Amino acid sequence: MTTRPSPTLETFPNPAPHRDYFIHMEIPEFTCLCPKTGQPDFGVLTVDFVPDETCIELKSLKLYIWSFRNEGCFHEAVTNRILDDLAGAAQPRFLRVTARFFVRGGIFTNVVAEYRKTGWQPEPKVELAEFAVQSNPSMRG
C-alpha cells in the first residue's frame, strides 16, 4: 500500500445504481500553497455526490487530496480542478465540491463548484423527521 501523494483517483462499482442516494465526505485538512507567496493555504473541503455506476474509493481520494500539499493553486482553480477530476473519474449523477479556506489577509474564501450529469434531476426531498415532530406532541422537546 502506498503512503505517498498520488494524482490517481480510483472508483468501485456502485452497490445500488438503481437508486439515487447521497454521499457526503468532509476533508478537514486540505492544504495547498498560495501561488503568489508560496505560503500554505489551509481549508476544509466538502464533497457531496449522487453516484451513478461508480463510487470514489476513499484511500485514493485521501492520496489525491494530499497531492496538492506542495502545489501553488488559486482557491477558485483548485476547487474547479478537484470537481473536474472527481467528475471525470466517477461520472456521478451529481457532484458538489465546497472549499472553505481559512483566513488569509483578513479574508475567508469559500468556493462552490457543481457538476450535473446531462438530463439528471434530483428527486424531491422528503422531510419525515420534521413532520413527525410537528404531528406527534410526545416527540416535542
Placement of cell 437508486 in the chain: 19
- Amino acid letter, residue 38: G
| Contacts (Cβ under 8 Å, ≥6 apart) of 134 | none
Distance, in Å, from the CA atom of 56 to the CA atom of 49, rounded to the nearest integer, reads: 10
Q: Is 41 a catalytic residue?
A: yes
The answer to whether 85 is a known catalytic residue is no
Element (H, E) at 6: none
Catalytic residue among 20, 34, 48, 85: 34
CB-based contact 45:66 (threshold 8 Å) = no
Q: Which residues are catalytic?
A: 34, 41
